[in-house]
Amino acid sequence: MTDVKGVSTGTTTVGIVCRDGIVLAAERKATMGYLVAAKKDLKIVEIMPHIAMTQAGMVGDVQALTRYLIAESKLYELRTRRRIPVKAAASLLANILYGGRWSYLPYQIQIILAGYDETGPNLFILHPDGSSLEEKEYFSTGSGSPIAFGVLETLFKDGLSIDECKKIAARAVRAAVERDIASGGRGIDIAIINKDGFRLLKEADVEKILESIKK
């Protein structure tokens, strides 16, 4: 959470690198101080057909950064006649964040940017200071991340499939929702990115995953 007035996401988001792609997951609560501003805030955003990012922090900041990154990624494709690599998109976003760190009010965010390109699955963590760190296994952002990390560190292992990672991501976010007062909302969103591109799972499919991990 932040002391700056505005709509923010206390948030739990999760990103997992699988052998055949990336899984992203997030809960849906957005807050304004002690007020729940939204119960169905989508915190997984498609940037390009092969790239997506999660949001934690000030909603307005994330929305502005999303617009910048989408526009610049499309310009990259027009100029080079090829889709932007995930690492290049992360570097571009890091430069935008670094440029804002010297302003009166830097971007109040923490972002997972992930995608699938010729090099395979890629996952980067970006912070308000403009740093961009590549993660080879998993990461979580937001106020519920310490709880999510406990689940991820217990269940993750190398070589997991997307289907296996979807269940782990759901467990991690659900655990955070149960213990972190700033995480919650109506349901959980899960998305996958693989060689076929980005896909946000339907609510019915997410419900089946949540039911399966109760057993």
Residue 106 has what DSSP assignment? -
SS3 107: coil
Query: What is the rounded CA–CA span in Å between residue 202 and residue 40?
Result: 14
Do residues 107 and 94 touch, judged by C-beta distance below 8 A?
A: no
Write out the E strands in 51-119: 51-58, 109-117
- Name the residues annotated as catalytic: 11
Location of structure tokens 């406990």: 150
